[in-house]
Amino acid sequence: MTFDVYDRVIDEVRGRATIRWACRLDLTGTRGRRALPPLRWFARLRHGGRVQWHGPDVFHVDTAGRITGKFTCATFRLPLWERGH
């Protein structure tokens, strides 16, 4: 599992940072064997074994640079998978 950040917006005055990310899951090869078999089979049949989903996160930061809040906009029970790269 890897998270790739592909957009960043930083508001230093208000102490906010927003990122958009893709979470990538590779269920092929030896690492994929650790996943539950039904999950692995579904991912391989439907998406070729590599899946990804996207989401944004908003961080609130205090004047000392410590994160005081993290808010994600992922409001799903199961992520909307798509074929990974």
Q: Is 13 inside any structural domain? A: yes
Q: What is the DSSP code string of 21-72?
A: EEEEEE-SHHHHTTS-HHHHHHHHHHHTTEEEEEEEEEEEE-TTS-EEEEEE
Q: Is 22 inside any structural domain? A: yes
Q: Is 84 inside any structural domain? A: no
Q: What is the pLDDT of residue 57?
A: 94
Across all residues in the chain, what is the average pLDDT?
85
Domain that holds residue 18: 2-76
Q: Is 11 inside any structural domain? A: yes
Residue range 42-69, pLDDT digits in tens: 888 888 888 888 889 999 999 999 999 9
Q: What is the pLDDT of residue 44?
A: 83
Examine the pLDDT at 77 and tell me if it is beyond 80.
Answer: no
Q: What is the pLDDT of residue 69?
A: 96
Q: Is 83 inside any structural domain? A: no
Which pTM was predicted? 0.67
Number of domains in the chain: 1
